[in-house]
Structure 1
Amino acid sequence: MSTVLVASRNAKKLAELRRVLDGAGITGVDVIGLDAVAEYPEEPETGATFEDNALIKAVAGARATGMTCLADDSGLSVDALNGMPGVLSARWSGRHGDDRANNDLLLAQIGDVPDERRGAAFVSACALVTPSGGQTVVRGEWRGTLLRAPRGDNGFGYDPLFVPDDDVAAGRSSAELSAAEKDSLSHRGKALAQLVPVLRSLAG
């Protein structure tokens, strides 16, 4: 049994990876989170890109624990803001993880942007680093448009403002989709799917 450490305390991210493994028929890989290992100093996320930050987290986890480590860095890239908030998505309003303040600030910043120019993409970069130093970095994107007011109670972050381009979403925001629907469409789901061959090789 191989163990993969996910450099996160987010139970939803752990569950998502487990669903990807199950969906690909991969057995023999045990997925654990940071709560299951001894605490170690986490590196500051100083990268200029999602890929940089994912790699910083995965390298730190693999080095500290001696386990294969998977880390993701994700956020929202808004066309009218030249790709921002980007890597600053979680702390766009100045307070890390304050979803409401982040959403309010973003809406104010694009208040004058017409509907046809409110394009955006959720981006996820996932890095998988082995104890021997092997590195795989992948990227998934989920295109859509931004609403003028939040809609829906599911999800987190900018989900209530984001309407996916996918037909299956039928004009619903990401926060109005079920967990299963979101899994099948999302940026993180697309990135994790690209790691399936590497995860399968770890399982032997």
Structure 2
Amino acid sequence: MRNQWYGDGRDLIKWGTLISIAQSQNFTKIIQVAYFRPDSQRPIIKSNNSLIEIPDSVYNHFRNINDIKRLSWFTGIDIEVIDDLYDKRKRMDYTEKMLPRITGNNGPLLVFLDPDTGLAVKNPGNKHVTVEEVATIWNALKPSDCLVLYQHSFRDTDWLEIKKAEFESAIGCNDVISYRSVKGGTDVVFFAAIKP
């Protein structure tokens, strides 16, 4: 996930979904695995003939993915953001490094995988999580923990069914629930499964 996407309309759907799942299943903690990548550059403001950089105070107010932790105050659900820098060339290192932060929690736990685009079976880039990464995290979860994956659409009318089947295959579980908005942000879905 990139800072520039934090707080957009899809975040309302994303966190509405996650909090609803957590409250309905009595989860007391959500861990967001952000697959964080810094923004490539900040916007620049031009004034007559001078250029003005966005001040750190303004940028950090609007582009801080850790700000979501404030939601804990209103929901009573502990939210942890794993915001370590993500690089596709070190995928499994990243996964192995964050696993203790997941397995070190007492249950039941909701783990949210939040790559920019979702699951990629072929040619995964920095915007994707792989089948192997999903399987590794799923296998590390305790019974009654929940795994949720963010998935963006792609150019296929059956994209939702295709990605759901890939997620089910990655975790070896056909008991996956899809969550998506009926108004606005219909190009994203969240796949959720509770580990038996």
TM-score bucket (shorter structure): 0.3 to 0.5
Question: TM-score, normalization: structure 1?
Answer: 0.32
